Amino acid sequence: MSSALFESHFSAVPEAVAIGHGRANLIGEHTDYNEGLVMPVLLRHHTVVALSPRQDNMICGISDRFDALDRLVDSPCDGSWLDFVTGALTMARLNGFAVGHDGKCGINIAVSSQVPAGAGLSSSAAFEIALLRAIGALTPARFDKLSPADLARMGQQIEHDFVGTACGIMDQMVAAVAPVGQAMLFDVRSMNTRCIPLFPGYDFLIIHSGADRKLSEGAYNERLAQCQKAASEMGVASLRDADLISCDRLADPLLKKRARHVISENIRVQKAAIALEAGKADEFGQLMDECHTSLDADFDVSSPILNDLVANLKSAGAIGARLTGAGFGGCVVALCAREQGDHILETFRSPNPNAWLVDRIEGL
């Protein structure tokens, strides 16, 4: 845990400790930055941040995953994990819960995480929300006036301005708002959320393919630009306002594919929410299958490894399966009846030797 890591490294007890959970997206992929609908669920795995203020303007950090690093509070970003810390300190200063009287006080910080990095499970958002909560715990009278949506927006701004990924707000919102054990239907445009209990007697298996991916290498931002261009050519503010008839009129076949995925995915999320509330696991599984096909064929973010894993999970008895997260590697999510879960987990490993179970999320 971060408290023990902090005490070992700094020979002191931290003044604040906070956590942020990773997430798996059950359905609604690449819709959040198009003002659409998503349905994520929290993992049990989380990131823990322990910290204390310093008397100078140094950030001194230790992590169980990365190197120990030190730098000045106002140092430029350099691509290291301390960029997240600099971003969180800046957000705290801009939003009234800064560390120190001038907002430029340094901190000692220790970070430990169970959330796999590069897996499409929001390790970055978990870190951002844990950071903001830990800093806020130093000034609770000011921090507690902020809403979870405020916290999510700050996490997103850290990602945009200090890390370099033009992400949507889904990951930060679910980390800031959702309870463990329920799916969160999130309308990104309105910022409205509704939490829905999971299927009783069914489990969602989160399985790492064994292939990592990295968003900041350009593919994610490329998809964002393509979606914006498609919306512009259809004369709408975002693809949330587009329909499949207008999509079919696009002259550019690549933009048509990108738009078709986003438009149809929003429809699938709406149907999935109805299926979840009605207890119709088979319908939900079919929508997951359709989502994966669309991500592979229209959004081009799957891979042979992910496709093989999804197919093998289906052959082993999963009701539905698809890649989760941005794609390009990482994880898949599979829905199964609870009594079939152990058999599926035993069966999929032989044809997918590098894959491993990350989490098993149980309905009540």
**171 belongs to the catalytic site:** yes
Question: From CA 309, how far away is CA 98, in angstroms rounded?
Answer: 46
Please tell me which residue in 83, 171, 296, 298 is annotated as part of the active site.
Answer: 171
- Strand residues in 189-240 grouped as ranges (E): 192-197, 202-208
Question: From CA 129, how far away is CA 124, in angstroms rounded?
Answer: 9
Q: Where are the alpha helices (DSSP H) in 11-164?
A: 82-94, 123-137, 140-143, 148-158
The residue to which tokens 């499949």 are assigned:
244
Quote the tokens at residue 203: 């489990």
Quote the tokens at residue 306: 């992910």
Quote the tokens at residue 257: 């594919």
Question: From CA 51, how far away is CA 131, in angstroms rounded?
Answer: 9
Q: Provide the CB-side half-sphere exposure for 231 (13 A, CA).
A: 21
- For 276, phi then psi, to 5°, come to -65, -45
Question: From CA 211, how far away is CA 312, in angstroms rounded?
Answer: 16
Question: From CA 129, how far away is CA 64, in angstroms rounded?
Answer: 18
Partners of 19 in the β-ladder? 48
Quote the tokens at residue 36: 């659409």
The residue to which tokens 């929410």 are assigned:
273
Report the catalytic residues.
171
